[in-house]
Amino acid sequence: MLANCEKINFFSGEEIPLEMHKARMVQRIFLPTAERRLEVLKEGGFNTFLLPNREVFLDMLTDSGVNAMSEAQYAAMMLADDSYAGSQTFYRLAETLGELFGTKYFLPAHQGRACENILANAYVGEGRVTIMNYHFTTTKAHITRLGGRVLEALADDALESASDNPFKGNFDLGKLEKMVAEAGVDNVAFVRLEAGTNLIGGQPVSMANMRAVSAFCRKRGLLLVFDASLLADNLYFIKTREAAEAHRSLAEIVLEIGSLMDISYFSGRKLGCARGGGLITSSAEHYEKMRGLVTLYEGFLTYGGMSVREMEAMNVGLKETLDFQVINQTPIFVAALGRELVARGLPVITPFGGLGCHVDAGAFLAHVPQEQYPAGALAAAVYLTGGIRGMERGTLSEQRGPDGRETMAQMELVRLAVPKRVFTLSQLKFVADRLAWLHKNRELVGGLEFEEEPESLRFFFGRLRPKGDWPERLLERFLRDMPSGV
Ligand code: F0G
């Protein structure tokens, strides 16, 4: 029998996440001085998406496409079959997906949002409604671009930042039923279940809830679409938080999830720890409806815009999703960072979720009004404080309404992503230390305003400026407390 690293006790009693792998290849990283960090922020329009990675010490922007791959994944890349049509690589990957989810058809696409584009083009139309537990930025943008409406049926307490609800991502079936009744079954393009959720702090959906949503949709003939991008973390939470599932193997759980959904899609930049994506279904009708869109937007049906090397890496990465010691690596390190932050009195989303540690910027910077983007300001201040790049997940990540008015986010979060097997515990302790300093000096941080605001997905490349000279004053305080300047 092999040990489960979570069962290993430390004699000291400390709760420490333990890696069940070792580093055999590393990337040198650099920490610019605090003065340089302020210059970089100005050059990047106070938007962490616009910072060159050379100037970033710890890149916690995302786990997308930046998880550390295994030696088996790298080895598989050497066996890729580079043919335009009928590549062996495609058949290997399709077979793995079929084995894992029990589905018949696989449509490859270059990443998650490409799948969303295909889904939106196939099923969304002017005024048609999609109902989801919660939206994701790119999903919503594809749907609203085609005139579709997005409704969310999340439980009321899902947006409470401090909670002990183990499955805050669950659908509220009462709300779902009401929304379907109001829209009319024929006007619902599809119901979309995202597990785990992204924008509400990587919070999971329970197996019981997935079953209930599936039964609800089947009874009414509603199409159920599953976003499996964050499934690896969600599987970990099903195994560890849902007593009825604890005895089941990951393979059994994934197979059942596959059987509950009509169409599943995923970002292979997350699930499978490579780069790419795809859609799977057992329905010939849905397969045929989407097939032409793959060849139109992505590439031929046997590569869908992906490099065959990435497809091979994804094939192995997907199989490794069934290894508990692989999928636990993000959640246990997120929890370790979360515990460090909570111990220092910082407002963090609890229970700790997947994907990354989510800081409640609304509480952290309670003095910054929401229209001055507190989460954006906090993300900029975190970079200034430690060369740490997080991501704004708040009002900046929303789109303005058709009348030009701001859509205020329901949560103002800064996400510190914890890609799999990338950071060490001492690096996470550095993050906690710098954030604690920032929290102590939070009254110095002010808001932001747009200098240049793109119409769509503005958070990606919009440029902002600080309201007042708070970055200079924060730097001055930092240099007083950390005379070494780093
Ligand atoms: N769905 C979810 C739940 C996601 O988290 C993402 C991406 C997508 C779809 C889109 O996939 O990036 O491959 O096109 N999330 C990334 C993130 C961008 O940083 O959280 P993609």
pLDDT tens, residue by residue, 87-109: 999 999 999 999 999 999 999 99
- Provide φ and ψ at 132, rounded to 5°: -140, 165
Which residues sit with their C-beta closer than 6 Å to ligand 1? 62, 64, 111-113, 136, 138, 194, 198, 227, 229-230, 267, 269, 277
Measured distance CA(203)–CA(168) in Å, rounded: 6
Low-confidence ranges of the chain (pLDDT < 50): none
pLDDT score, position 148? 97
The pLDDT assigned to 7 comes to 87
Which residue's C-alpha comes closest to atom 18 of ligand 1? 64
Q: Interhelix angle for 425-440 vs 374-386, to 10°?
A: 120
Give the Å distance between the CA of 280 and the centre of ligand 1: 17
Measured in Å, residue 476 CA sits from the centre of ligand 1 at 37
- In this prediction, residue 307 carries a pLDDT of 98
Return d(Cα 486, Cα 478) in angstroms, integer. 9
CA 85 to chain CA centroid, Å, is 32
Write down all domains in the chain, each with its CATH number in brackets.
11-63+326-481 (3.90.1150.10), 71-323 (3.40.640.10)
Among protein residues, the one whose CA lies closest to atom 21 of ligand 1 = 112
The partner residues of 188 in beta bridges, in order of sequence, read 129
Q: What is the pLDDT of residues 355-412, one digit of tens each?
A: 999 999 999 999 999 999 999 999 999 999 999 999 999 999 998 988 999 999 999 9
- Say how many residues make up the chain: 486
Cα–ligand 1 centroid distance for 483 (angstroms) = 39
CA distances from 70 to 23, 311, 314, 351 (A): 10, 14, 11, 29
Chain centre to alpha carbon of residue 260: 22
Residue of 117, 118, 229 best suited for mutating to test ligand 1, as the one with most atoms within 8 Å of CB: 229
Nearest CA to ligand 1 atom 9: 112
DSSP one-letter string for 319-388: HHTT-HHHHTHHHHHHHHHHHHHHHTT--B-SS--SSEEEEEHHHHTTTS-GGG-HHHHHHHHHHHHHSE
**Which DSSP helix (H) or strand (E) runs through 413?**
strand 413-417
The residues that are catalytic are: 84, 136-137, 227, 270, 393, 459
Q: In sequence order, what are the residues at sequence separation of 6 or more whose Cβ sits closer than 8 angstroms to the Cβ of residue 286?
A: 122, 223, 262, 263
Closest ligand 1 atom to residue 355 Cα is: 20
CA-closest candidate to residue 461, choices 368, 397, 414: 397
Spatial distance between the Cα atoms of 95 and 168, rounded to a whole number of angstroms: 33
Are 396 and 414 a contacting pair, CB within 8 Å? no
Cis omega before residue 196 (within 30°)? yes
| Distance (Å) of CA 233 to CA 166, 244, 332 | 13, 18, 10
- Give how far the C-alpha of residue 296 lies from the chain's centroid of Cα atoms, to the nearest Å: 27
Ligand 1 center–CA 124 separation, angstroms: 20
Strand, helix or coil for residue 217: helix
Distance from residue 300's CA to the centre of ligand 1 (Å): 23
Closest ligand 1 atom number to CA of residue 230 = 3
Ligand 1, closest atom to CA 268? 13
Going by alpha carbons, the residue nearest to atom 20 of ligand 1 is: 62
